[in-house]
Structure formats: structure tokens, C-alpha cells
Amino acid sequence: MGYGPAQIPLKTRREIEIMREVGRHVAEILLEVRKRVRPGIATAELNRIAEEEIKRRGVQSSFKGYGPHGLPKYPAVICISVNEEIVHGIPGPRVLKEGDIVGFDFGVHQNGMHGDSAVTVGVGEICEEASRLLTTTRDALYLAIEKARVGNRLSDIGHVVQSKAEGSGYSVVRDFVGHGIGHKLHEPPQIPNYGDPGKGPRLRAGMALAIEPMVNAGVAGVEVLKDGWTAVTEDRKLSAHFEHTILITDEGPEILTKVEGSH
Ligand code: MF3
Ligand code: CO
């Protein structure tokens, strides 16, 4: 990928303060959405709840209308990806049922700064295999966050995600990556969830990163559905996604999208 550290923006104190506030909104809205998860609810209804929270708080969606790549613009404020859907599922009439796993990926901006976070949860009771996939993916995220320290290198993050996922018998998605975040939802660097350690730019205080492992129960391969967005596993086995926006500080990683009760 070849970023010099100079291309990764360092946040000012003012920008950091705004990102803390934005991150709190993201975390709280995700919790509001999660509270409503139950068998029988349609994913469009969960999008409506997120949209209401956005309005109530006076923040802006980072996702709705997104689409610089010539594809249809993303039509909702939250991505909802069920079971074999990896990321970018579009909310609609699909009704959640007991035993499903459902991923929520959500971002807002305010005063010019973005926050982005994702979590995958079970609907009612889920089977042990699904539960192990969720735990492993969340663990991979936290191992990755631990690597987001001054002096480490960028690829240390992806390496630990890949080790955790593959060491648990799973595979990591290679078609989507984490990213820097700040004035834009996607800033340099790209953050793959795989690779050798000790490569890429050194991490510095003031970098804000959206770290987002996507872990598949089966093969790593991805297929995008005809809606132009929904990414599903090639073998239609389960996939899980967890994400936090973090800030690298001299004291270690600070998770900006976490409040009491968050993933
Ligand atoms: N969290 C995802 C990302 O970081 C979601 C963005 S896709 C969008 O890329 F279209 F919904 F915005
Ligand atoms: Co993201």
C-alpha cells in the first residue's frame, strides 16, 4: 500500500474533542438499535430507529448517499448484514428470526468529523458455532486495538487479526479493509485484516483508525449481490464483523466508539 506516515493525518486537540463526541453518538445509537433486536423485527425498522436517533441528536449520517465508486448510492443510514452477509447489507423487509446473527455497521459525522463502528449480535438464542464466531471476531478486534500503539507498525494490526481468525479455524475477508478516519469517513491508511507483521508506516499519536475485522466461518471469498452493495460469503456460511474507531495516544489506544454496554 505504501503510505508514508506523512499521508496519515494526525488529529489536532480540537479535532480529537469532536471525534470523542461523535464516537459517543455512534456508540449510543448502536446500543439503541441493538436493544430493539428480536425475532420478528424487520431490518428496515431498525434503520428507522437509527434514523430517528440521528435526527434527535442533530448529527449527520456518514453512510446515506455514500458511493464514490459509480455504483448506486448507499440508501440507508446503517448497514445491516444477516448471517452469510458480510458487510453492506441494505435494510429492508427482511425479518430477523431466532438463531440469526446480525451485523450493524454505523457511522455519523458532526462538525466535520466522522465516527464509525460495527457489531454483530445474535437474535434470541444462537448455536454454539455462531457464538464462537462472534467471540473470536470481537477478540480479534481487541487484539488489533492493542497493537494500535505508538512505535508499532501498521501491518501489526492486520497480522494479529489474521492469526486470531485462522488460528480459530476461520478465514479473514480480504476484499474490504479498515481505514483511517477523521474529516472523511475513509482516509489513509487502508488497514487490511491480514499480512506479515512489522511492515508499513510506524503508528503515531494522533492517528485515528477504524479497525474492522470481518471473519468468515468458511472460505474467505466474497460475492456482491445484484443490489450492488450486499457482500456475502461465497460458500454462504456465516460471517461476523466488529469495528471501532480508535485514537492512538501516547498512553495507548483510546476507543472513541465505546460507552458502557458497548461491544
Ligand atoms: N463501515 C463501513 C466502512 O467503513 C461502511 C461504509 S459503507 C456505506 O467502509 F456505504 F454504508 F457507507
Ligand atoms: Co469502517
**pLDDT band at 4; cut points 50, 70, 90:** low
Residue 184 lies in a domain: yes
Q: Ligand 1: which of 87, 117, 120, 173 to mutate, most ligand atoms within 8 Å of CB?
A: 87
Hey, what amino acid is at 7?
Q
Residue 247 is part of which domain span? 18-255
pLDDT reported for residue 2: 59
Q: For residue 95, tell me if it sits in a domain.
A: yes
Residue whose CA lies nearest to ligand 1 atom number 11: 63
**At which residue does the C-alpha cell 425498522 appear?**
45
**Does 250 have pLDDT greater than 70?**
yes
- Closest-lying ligand 1 atom to the alpha carbon of residue 118: 1
SS3 107: strand
Domain assignment present for 149: yes
Using one digit for the tens of pLDDT, what is the confidence trace for 29-40? 999 999 999 999
- Say whether pTM exceeds 0.95: yes
Evaluate: CB of 210 within 6 angstroms of ligand 1. yes
pLDDT at position 70 is 76
User: Ligand 1: which of 79, 224, 257 to mutate, judged by most atoms within 8 Å of the beta carbon?
Assistant: 79
Count Cα atoms within 13 angstroms, Cβ side, for 128.
0
pLDDT for the residue 226: 95
Class of residue 128 by CB neighbours under 10 A (exposed 0-12, middle 13-18, buried 19+): exposed
User: Stretch 104-111: mean pLDDT, rounded?
Assistant: 99
Domain membership flag for residue 237: yes
Q: Is residue 247 part of a domain?
A: yes
250: CA distance to ligand 2 center in Å? Answer: 24
Domains identified in the chain, total number? 1
CATH number at residue 156: 3.90.230.10
**Can you give the pLDDT at residue 1?**
47
pLDDT in tens, 47-76: 999 999 999 999 999 999 998 767 789 999
pLDDT mean across residues, the chain? 97
